[in-house]
Amino acid sequence: MCPKTLWAAVAATLVLATWTPARAQNNQADGGSKVTAENDPISANALKTIVEGRATFRFETFGDEAFWGATIKLHQAVATLIDTCII
């Protein structure tokens, strides 16, 4: 990793590490309530999007079955390894 990239990563980490706790403290110091999906439509939409994304990436194959099975025949390679006791 080059020095410029390393310094950029360190700076981004420090900014995120200091920003998040300060925001939480300011919300509590002002007597504000915790932001939840019930009282914030943006948070509700974000939570909904996260749930939908998890379902998509858990169950959708995006055509990977055709690639791994038909194109490179991974199942045959695994069967060969099992037969030869490599796995």
Q: Tens digit of pLDDT for each residue in 30-39? A: 555 566 667 8
Task: Give the structural domain span for 85.
Answer: 63-87
Q: Is 85 contained in some domain?
A: yes
For residue 49, what pLDDT band results from cuts at 50, 70 and 90?
very high
Amino acid at 6: L
Q: Is 8 contained in some domain?
A: no
Of residues 29 and 45, the one with the higher pLDDT is 45
pTM of the model: 0.35
Domains in the chain, number: 1
Can you tell me the distance from the alpha carbon of 51 to that of 47, in angstroms, rounded to the nearest whole number? Answer: 6
For residue 69, what pLDDT band results from cuts at 50, 70 and 90?
confident
Tokens representing 24?
A: 């939480």
Q: Is 25 contained in some domain?
A: no
Q: What pLDDT, in 10s, does the model give residues 57-68?
A: 888 888 888 888
Q: Is 40 contained in some domain?
A: no
